Amino acid sequence: MLVQYLPFLVLFIVAVAFAGGAMVLSRLLGPKRPSATKLEPYESGMVPIGGTRGRFPIRFYLVALLFILFDIEIIFLYPWAVIFLEAGAARVFLFFEILVFLGVITVGYVYIWRKGALDWE
């Protein structure tokens, strides 16, 4: 069973080796002549103002929280989609089953919509 995941392992090793190799090689082979202008985060761009760790508004937090909840809803659709085509006569049963599930979640969706949580302002 685990043998089926061997291509994943090979891909993972190749990806890590490629990324790591590119960084190491450019460090070893590339000439380093730093200057103040070159070391700026955005060369020939805007001069950065302040630190990078500004505080984020709480709206991002709410969006992330709602994203997780609907992410979990989607999780249940994966196995459903996989078994639906081969279900045969049980398809009608499966269809209404997921309809009830999605219906309850949609109540929540309408709730957050009406409460204005989807509006950015």
Backbone angles phi, psi at 118, to 5 degrees: -85, -15
Examine residue 6 and tell whether it contacts other proteins (CB under 8 A).
Answer: no
Q: Which of 26, 36, 60, 92 binds other proteins (CB under 8 A)?
A: 60
Rounded least distance, CB 41 to other proteins, Å: 17
Binding segment for other proteins (CB under 8 A), chosen from 14-22, 24-32, 40-48, 61-69, is 61-69
The residue type at 15: A
First to last CA, the chain: 51
Binding site for other proteins (CB under 8 A): 1-2, 5, 53-56, 58, 60-62, 64-69, 71-73, 75-76, 78-80, 82-83, 86, 90, 94, 97, 100-105, 107-109, 111-112, 115-117
